[in-house]
Structure formats: C-alpha cells, structure tokens
C-alpha cells in the first residue's frame, strides 16, 4: 500500500467511555480453530471467529490447501476437516500478511506434510525472527530454508521424517511451543516442550477438546504423534487483547463506566487485569463461565486514579501483547512505572519499546526506553502526531491516550488495525472516543 493510501486516525482530546460492548473474537483461538479444524476428522463449527486480516490469512491458506471452509459470516465458520494427512499442495506460495502466528504455527504443521511449500509475509513479518521455530523443527528432522538472517520467506520441503524432541524453549513463546506441538502430531514418538514461564495454552486446550491426548506436568507439555483429531463446535470468546484498549481507556478517562462482554479469561492471558489492578484500576469480573474449555467473563471497568508500579517480570508473558496500551496507562498514572524483562517486545509487529517511547515522548511524556523495557513518569499528555509504524496495537494504544491529551492526537499508518480489530473506529466512537479517520 502506498503512503498516500495509508489510513490516519485523528483523535479528539477528552471524553469518557460508557456503555456495553463486545470486542471481536480472540485472534489466537481463531487461528487455531482453522488450523486444527482443518486437520480434524469431520466438521468443526466455529462462532465468534475474528474476521481480521491475520486470521483471514490463515483461513485463506487452508482453503488454498484444499480445505472446504464456509464463511466467515457474522463470525460463523464451518470447516470440513480433511484429517491429518488430507491437505493438498497449494498452487502458489502462501502469503500470510502481517501474521506471525500464522507463519510460526504453520511452519510446524507444514513441516509434516508430503508436499513442498513457501510461506511469505509483508515487510514487518519478513523482518521477524523465524530461527526460533526453524532451529528446533530442523532438530526434529524438518527441512526448512529461511533467509541468511533467519527470516521469511520460508521454504518448507515435504516428506521429511519427523521425530519427537524434548525441547526447552529459550524464550517464553506460545508460538514456538505451538509450532513444535503441531509438528509433533506428525512425528514419531513423543514431542515435549518446556517453557521458562507460562505462555498461552490455547493449542493444548483445543487439541484436548478435539480428543487428542496432551500431557502437561509443571512447565512441560508433551504429545505423541500419529493420533486423530475430531471436529468439534468452538465458541470463540472476545479477545482480551482487544478488550485491553477499553480497559485502559475507561480507567484513565474520568467519568467512564464500561461493560465488556464475553471476554476470554484464560489465566495465561489475564496479565493485563493483574497489572491494571496493581495500578489501582477498578475492574470487576462478572458472569464467569466455561465455554468449550476456555474461561469467559464480562468485565466492568470504571475510571480510577492509577499509580505507577514496578511490573512484576512474571506477568510479562501473560500480558505480552498489551504493553503498548499499558504504557499509555503508565503515562496517565501518578508516579513512575518500570517494566523490565520484556525484550520480546522488540521483535513484535514493530519494536514496541522504541516505537512507544518515541510516540510518548512526542506527546511530552517522560518515557525512557531500556534494553528490555521502559521507565515512564506519569504526567500530562500533550497533543501531537505519532507514527504507529504499521503496528495495529500501537495505533489503538495511542488512540486511547487522546482521552487524557491536551489536544488532538494524530496517528499515522493505521491500516493494520484491521489485522486484529476490524470495526475498532466504530466501536470506540460509539463508546465515546472522538476518533475520525483520514486517508
């Protein structure tokens, strides 16, 4: 897309967030519903599917490999599973857009197929580290070529004989864990992955829901290759990572009271609630229920005076996607917030430490990037122009900062908000954010 077509957000200062809303479906679960539904025997019916570009990239990729998929239609998708060995070689390379989850998880899954395949992505995805999956997959027997710097495009050669491994991940990454478990479905023997800290476990839960035996003991998860997945019904909850923008927005904007409905509350994802509560946020968890093996609840959030904190490093993987908006909360808090142990933020859709520090500084906030985190002194937020660097979560985080700014905040490069949160502008506008778009 040329610079001239790029979407900009212009967000008016002030206002409050009120009402009830249900943000779109969970991105991580949406990806997995297509991948595992395709590999299952029989039909998988999905509701609440995220119709964002990332999960649609996964959906198109499996269609290109011969899987019959109806929808999405208002979040409903029907997948006719082809079984573990029913995928067909696509006519072309699979383009996965901005989606790291698609590329990393599919690398593992595709390493076990009988055909060769190439995975490509946009400029951001083509700069992200893939060695973290290519390395251990190669140890399992996969044959994958990346660029000399370990990035996409990835060329995956078929008919590899995979064997299970016992792998200790050097970084806490659900994408790496899931990639290896998906390869493990095709491997002889047992594949085990240990994590240095708990990461999201949607893959394990969905495999179990589809009747595949997965053993977890402490920080180690194992499965045997050669089993069968059974198609099931999957009700995908609202994405807590999308709800996070509203949890922060309503917390920092005086006079706010917002109900966020049917939010996924998997304990490997709720770090945002723990961090905001430690800062003094007023969040009530209501109507807790289990929906198909994933906990779900409604969240009521009211505005509150936030205070700076030292963010416990063990909460980092449990809130890994929420730091852009947590930095905005910290900018609006009283006192200093310190984040450490979060170097992974530098290899997300953008370098989220540097891009957020630059943007906050241009709004007059005292934010200092460190190698593995940030130090932010809460204080007034000024008006200004920030560049999201095409990172969806940075665009949405700065939109919320306008609730406390002294003038308009203009955000460049916002088209990628559609990767995870189609309808953000409309939903945020209805809740009370003065947000407009311009090409």
**x-or-dash string of contact with ligand S3P, 176-195, rule CB under 6 A:** --x-----------------
Nearer to ligand S3P, 203 or 251 (CB): 203
Binding part of the chain for ligand S3P, among 140-148, 173-181, 331-339, 428-436 by CB under 6 A, reads 173-181
The whole-angstrom separation of Cα 281 and Cα 285 is 12
* 290 carries an active-site annotation: no
Nearer to ligand S3P, 49 or 332 (CB): 49
Burial class for 10, CB neighbours closer than 10 Å (0-12, 13-18, 19+) = middle
The whole-angstrom separation of Cα 181 and Cα 160 is 16
Please report, for residues 122, 202, 213, 268, 291, the alpha-carbon distance to residue 205 in angstroms, rounded to integers and kept in the order given. 30, 5, 10, 12, 12
Nearer to ligand S3P, 103 or 435 (CB): 103
If one asks whether residue 320 binds ligand S3P (CB under 6 A), the answer comes out as yes
The minimum distance between CB 200 and ligand S3P, in angstroms, equals 6
Contact between 260 and 286 (Cβ < 8 Å)? no
Closest CA to 363 of 383, 344, 334: 383
The minimum distance between CB 133 and ligand S3P, in angstroms, equals 10
Window 338-357: residues binding ligand S3P (CB under 6 A): 344
**Partner residues linked to 180 by β-bridges:** none
Please report, for residues 152, 164, 269, 410, the alpha-carbon distance to residue 322 in angstroms, rounded to integers and kept in the order given. 25, 33, 10, 21
The whole-angstrom separation of Cα 50 and Cα 103 is 17
The whole-angstrom separation of Cα 229 and Cα 217 is 22
The whole-angstrom separation of Cα 367 and Cα 428 is 26
- Dihedral sign for Cα 427, 433, 434, 436, please: negative
Q: How many residues bind ligand S3P (CB under 6 A)?
A: 10
The whole-angstrom separation of Cα 251 and Cα 245 is 10
The minimum distance between CB 53 and ligand S3P, in angstroms, equals 14
The minimum distance between CB 28 and ligand S3P, in angstroms, equals 3
If one asks whether residue 38 binds ligand S3P (CB under 6 A), the answer comes out as no
Binding part of the chain for ligand S3P, among 33-41, 169-177, 290-298, 400-408 by CB under 6 A, reads 169-177
Nearer to ligand S3P, 262 or 393 (CB): 393
If one asks whether residue 128 binds ligand S3P (CB under 6 A), the answer comes out as no
- In the 8-state DSSP scheme, what is residue 116? -
If one asks whether residue 173 binds ligand S3P (CB under 6 A), the answer comes out as yes
Tokens of 122: 């946009």
Nearer to ligand S3P, 113 or 179 (CB): 179
The minimum distance between CB 177 and ligand S3P, in angstroms, equals 7
- Dihedral sign for Cα 206, 210, 214, 218, please: positive
If one asks whether residue 33 binds ligand S3P (CB under 6 A), the answer comes out as no
The minimum distance between CB 35 and ligand S3P, in angstroms, equals 11
Nearer to ligand S3P, 102 or 256 (CB): 102
The whole-angstrom separation of Cα 436 and Cα 425 is 7
**x-or-dash string of contact with ligand S3P, 199-228, rule CB under 6 A:** -x----------------------------
The minimum distance between CB 128 and ligand S3P, in angstroms, equals 9
- Selecting among 321, 351, 372, 387, the annotated active-site residue is 321
Nearer to ligand S3P, 103 or 258 (CB): 103
Window 92-121: residues binding ligand S3P (CB under 6 A): 101
Please report, for residues 17, 79, 225, the alpha-carbon distance to residue 115 in angstroms, rounded to integers and kept in the order given. 51, 22, 19
If one asks whether residue 175 binds ligand S3P (CB under 6 A), the answer comes out as yes
Closest CA to 380 of 416, 402, 404, 396: 404
If one asks whether residue 174 binds ligand S3P (CB under 6 A), the answer comes out as yes
Binding site for ligand S3P (CB under 6 A): 28, 101, 173-175, 178, 200, 320-321, 344
Give catalytic residue positions: 321
């Amino acid at each position: 897309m040329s610079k001239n077509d790029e979407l900009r957000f212009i967000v008016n200062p002030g206002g409050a967030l009120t009402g009830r809303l249900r943000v779109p479906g969970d991105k991580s679960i949406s990806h997995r519903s297509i991948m595992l539904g395709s590999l299952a025997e029989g039909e998988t019916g999905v509701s609440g599917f995220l119709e964002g570009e990332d999960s649609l990239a996964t959906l198109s990729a499996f269609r290109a490999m011969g899987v019959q998929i109806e929808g999405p239609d208002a979040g409903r998708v029907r997948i006719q599973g082809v079984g573990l060995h029913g995928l067909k070689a696509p006519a072309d390379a699979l383009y996965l857009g901005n989606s790291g989850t698609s590329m990393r998880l599919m690398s593992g899954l595709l390493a076990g197929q009988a055909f060769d395949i190439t995975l490509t992505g946009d400029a951001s995805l083509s700069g992200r580290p893939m060695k973290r999956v290519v390395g251990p997959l190669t140890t399992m027997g996969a044959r994958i070529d990346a660029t000399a710097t370990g990035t996409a495009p990835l060329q995956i050669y078929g008919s590899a004989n995979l064997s299970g491994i016992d792998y200790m991940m050097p970084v806490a990454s659900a994408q790496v864990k899931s990639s290896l478990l998906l390869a493990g479905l095709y491997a002889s023997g047992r594949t085990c992955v240990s994590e240095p800290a708990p990461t999201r476990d949607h893959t394990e839960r969905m495999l179990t829901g589809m009747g595949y035996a997965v053993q977890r003991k402490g920080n180690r998860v194992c499965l045997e290759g050669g089993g069968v997945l059974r198609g099931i019904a999957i009700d995908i909850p609202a994405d807590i990572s999308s709800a996070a923008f509203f949890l922060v927005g309503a917390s920092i904007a005086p006079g706010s009271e917002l109900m966020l409905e049917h939010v996924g509350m998997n304990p490997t994802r709720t770090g945002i609630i723990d961090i905001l509560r430690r800062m003094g946020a007023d969040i009530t968890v209501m109507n807790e229920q289990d929906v198909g093996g994933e906990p779900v609840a409604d969240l009521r959030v009211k505005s509150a005076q936030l205070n700076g904190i030292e963010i416990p490093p063990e909460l980092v993987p449990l809130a890994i996607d929420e730091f852009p908006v947590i930095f905005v909360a910290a900018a609006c808090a009283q006192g200093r917030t310190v984040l450490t142990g979060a170097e992974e933020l530098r290899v997300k859709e953008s370098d989220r430490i540097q891009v957020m520090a630059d943007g906050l500084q241009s709004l007059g906030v005292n934010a200092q990037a460190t190698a593995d985190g940030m130090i932010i002194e809460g204080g007034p937020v000024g008006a200004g122009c920030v560049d999201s660097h095409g990172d969806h979560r940075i665009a949405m985080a700065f939109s919320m900062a306008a609730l406390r700014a002294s003038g308009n905040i203009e955000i460049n490069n916002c088209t990628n908000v559609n990767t995870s949160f189609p309808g953000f502008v409309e939903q945020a506008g209805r809740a009370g954010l003065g947000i407009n778009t311009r090409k």
